[in-house]
Amino acid sequence: MQLVKRFNVLLIEDNEGDFMLVEDYLNEIFDSVEITHCWLLEEALIALRKNEYDVVLLDLTLPDSKGKGSILEILSLAKDAPVIVLTGRADKQLAIDTLQLGVEDYLVKDEVNATVLQKSISYGIERNKFRLIISNSEKRFRSIIANSTDGFALIGANGNIQEISSFGKEIIGFNLAENDGFFRVEFLHPDHRTAVISTFSEVIKKPGKIKLLEFKYKIPNAGYRWLESTFYNLLEDPAVRAVVLNYRDITKRKTEEEERNILIEELLQTNADLKQFGYITSHNLRAPVTNLLSIVDLLESDKISDLKTKALVDAFKTASFQLNDTLNDLINVLVIREKKYLALHKISFQETVEKNIHNLRELLNTESISISTDFSAAPSIVFDPSYLESILINLFTNSIKFASPDRKLQISITSHKLGDDTILDFTDNGLGMNMKNVKDRIFGLYQRFHERPDSKGIGLYLIQSQVIALGGKITVDSEVDKGTTFSITFKNHQI
């Protein structure tokens, strides 16, 4: 049987008869073998420094060295070559000792023949390959650990630290010798001490158990830091036999979270205060405003002869009506913001538009307005009916308010699908807007873009609030003296 075509063997043997016998075995095993014969250990060490071999066959009894000393020196220079001991001593304990040092096999010369030697060399090469794979894997693992920004530690069941990575020491300013091989329990924050100890106790009771925990640990001369840690029980894994602790410093993240939570609490409180202020204002103003309007109705300015008094009364009426409108706007905004449970129904676009046209017939039923619709691509949506009616009323009244005096007002309303969403396009050929100037303010409260006395600047704000309340969005495309298109995206709600 042949193992490989060309094989390089270093044979360290001081007995010429034994050398010739082994040489015959090797020539029998291999088609092509190159044997380097060394009589002394010193010669072998020189040869190993200069050359590489596929296998090293070592006699333990040499003129310049005996026993384990020869093995250690040869192993230090053999690189990836397996070392097989050939000896005349059938010593069981010596065989065990040499194998523990790292040789691949221990052969007694009187028991060796070509077949035995072939198997020993073949098995030795394979075992050595496997050992190298494990060794390289361990080197890669340790390289990853050494270059990781996380901390790693191996902890025994009694809490002793078997090993800790360099960066792990750096994260917590840890000195293994100073701390007697244990993490300092007193360095755990008092609020977290029990949780950490309980977690470790829980983990070591169950092989393979993994637990994640965040806690504070006191760093020398730096106060407490937040650590995010993973405890992994590998106590029953022969290669580890420890609890693997992986941890990282998350102090910055926790500080930002705390600051964000404080800000959220402040915003929630501010929002609640503003909402309460709105309720109080709208409630407390409703009665006096109603009384004020009643008084205004009783004032007959056409019967007042004094022009100055008449002007003051007219101004008083105007201001009262404006105050009432503002109060109504405020109440509408509060209703939209507070309305948490919306009545979702399947709504027909065509029916809703026709209902709006009927309700606005005094404004829309003129020869100067043309309305066209096409809902064939998306005839309906699931939405709140009152919201949809309000949205369309505001869009209709906006188009009428800002119609061009130079042409007949044309309104086009269409719908179509975009994925799972439904798009409603409401287009007119009115005055239009300069989007570069107004795009950041278009849906703001009390934002007006045309000088019209009946423009309050709340309609678009209400539309956007109602659309957003149900997860949709609204966009605008407009050009001065060309017209405006509002595109509303309705989410696909299920009922």
Residues 103 and 232 in one domain: no
pLDDT at 200: 92
Task: Name all contacts of 365-368 with Cβ < 8 Å and 24+ positions apart.
Answer: 368/403, 368/408, 368/409
Residue 29 has a CB neighbour count (10 Å cut-off) of 21
**Which phi and psi (to 5°) does residue 411 adopt?**
-120, 130
| Secondary structure (3-state) at 409 | strand
Cβ atoms of 104 and 83 closer than 8 Å: yes
Residue at which a domain ends, from 282, 304, 338 = 338
Split the chain (495 residues) into runs of 10 and give each run's mean pLDDT: 66 87 86 88 88 86 76 82 81 78 83 84 80 68 66 88 83 72 86 92 90 90 88 87 89 89 81 63 66 76 79 79 67 58 82 86 73 94 86 87 89 93 94 80 60 58 82 89 92 75
- Which among 10, 11, 9, 13 is positioned nearest to 63, based on CA atoms? 13
Residue at which a domain ends, from 276, 310, 338 = 338
Residues 112 and 182 in one domain: no
442 part of a folded domain: yes
What sign has the CA pseudo-torsion 388, 389, 390, 391?
A: positive
pLDDT at 1: 43
pTM over 0.85: no
Residues 41 and 129 in one domain: yes
Please provide the size of the chain in residues: 495
Tens digit of each residue's pLDDT (9 = 90 or more) over 207-232: 888 999 999 998 887 789 999 999 99
Residues 476 and 371 in one domain: yes
DSSP conformation letters of 163-217: EE-HHHHHHHT--TTTTTTB--GGGB-TTTHHHHHHHHHHHHTSTT-EEEEEEEE
Residues 318 and 360 in one domain: no
Residues 193 and 218 in one domain: yes
| Strand 483-490 to 210-219 pairing | unpaired
Domain count, the chain: 4
Residues 365 and 484 in one domain: yes
495 part of a folded domain: no
Instruction: Give CA separation, 417 vs 287, 376, 473, 490, in Å.
Output: 47, 10, 15, 10
Q: Which residues of 315-326 are buried (b: 16+ CB within 10 A; e: fewer)?
A: eebeebeeebee
Tens digit of each residue's pLDDT (9 = 90 or more) over 258-282: 888 888 888 777 666 666 666 666 5
Residues 13 and 108 in one domain: yes
Distance between CA atoms of residues 390 and 14, nearest Å: 107
Residue 206 has a CB neighbour count (10 Å cut-off) of 11
Q: What is the CATH number of the domain that holds 116?
A: 3.40.50.2300
Tens digit of each residue's pLDDT (9 = 90 or more) over 113-170: 888 888 888 888 887 777 777 666 666 666 666 666 788 888 899 888 888 888 888 8
| Secondary structure (3-state) at 233 | strand
Range of the domain at 206: 149-249
pLDDT at 3: 46
Residues 333 and 352 in one domain: no
Q: What is the CATH number of the domain that holds 208?
A: 3.30.450.20
pLDDT at 400: 87
Residue at which a domain ends, from 338, 356, 383 = 338
Q: What is the CATH number of the domain that holds 442?
A: 3.30.565.10
